[in-house]
């Protein structure tokens, strides 16, 4: 569960976990809500973007940098182009990067992998989906 993973999430954020620890942590969080029978070939890849890290730290600094208030959230992009844009500059809703979804214009995140997965309208290439934590 997320509560037990708190200290590990902070280590994940700072890039202090081995590839095996990252895989185990993310799989555990993912399968907290996603049925294992619905998943084939799960692959975990840790992204490191110093600009996004700085943005997160600036946002949390205004809240006293309390990690206890941070929550794991998941995002399923609308397609390969959206995935590429997220890999390049994070989830952003400016210009043409944002769609009007079920609840209006925005980039939707969910507190469970299963809920984020439910936003999918269709599978990606070869039936694969990219989910961002």
Query: Radius of gyration (Cα) for the chain, nearest Å?
Result: 15
User: Domain coordinates of the chain in residue numbers?
Assistant: 2-127
The token duo for 25 is 């942590």
d(CA 21, CA 133): 15
What percentage of the chain reaches a pLDDT higher than 70?
Answer: 80
- Tell whether the model's pLDDT for residue 23 goes beyond 90: yes
Q: Where are the beta strands (DSSP E) in 1-133?
A: 99-101, 104-106
pLDDT in tens, 53-111: 888 888 878 777 777 777 888 988 878 888 888 888 777 776 665 666 666 666 778 99
Neighbour count for residue 9 (Cβ, 10 Å): 18
- Tell whether the model's pLDDT for residue 3 goes beyond 70: no
Pairs from 63-70 (Cβ < 8 Å, separation ≥ 24):
67/6, 67/9, 67/10, 68/6, 70/9
Question: What average pLDDT score do residues 27-32 get?
Answer: 94
- Tell whether the model's pLDDT for residue 125 goes beyond 70: no
d(CA 129, CA 133): 13
Averaged confidence pLDDT in the chain: 81
Backbone torsions φ then ψ of 132, nearest 5 degrees: -105, 135
């Amino acid at each position: 569960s997320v509560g037990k993973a708190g200290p590990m999430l902070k280590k994940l954020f700072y890039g202090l976990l081995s590839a095996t620890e990252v895989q185990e942590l993310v799989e555990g969080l993912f399968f907290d809500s996603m049925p294992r029978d619905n998943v084939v070939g799960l692959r975990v890849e840790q992204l490191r973007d110093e600009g996004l890290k700085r943005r997160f730290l600036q946002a949390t600094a205004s809240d006293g940098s309390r990690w206890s208030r941070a929550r794991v959230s998941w995002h399923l992009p609308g397609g390969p182009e959206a995935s590429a844009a997220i890999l390049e500059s994070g989830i952003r809703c400016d210009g043409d990067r944002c769609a009007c979804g079920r609840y209006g214009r925005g980039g939707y995140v969910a507190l469970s992998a299963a809920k984020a997965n439910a936003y999918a309208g269709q599978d990606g290439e070869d039936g694969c989906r990219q989910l961002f934590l």
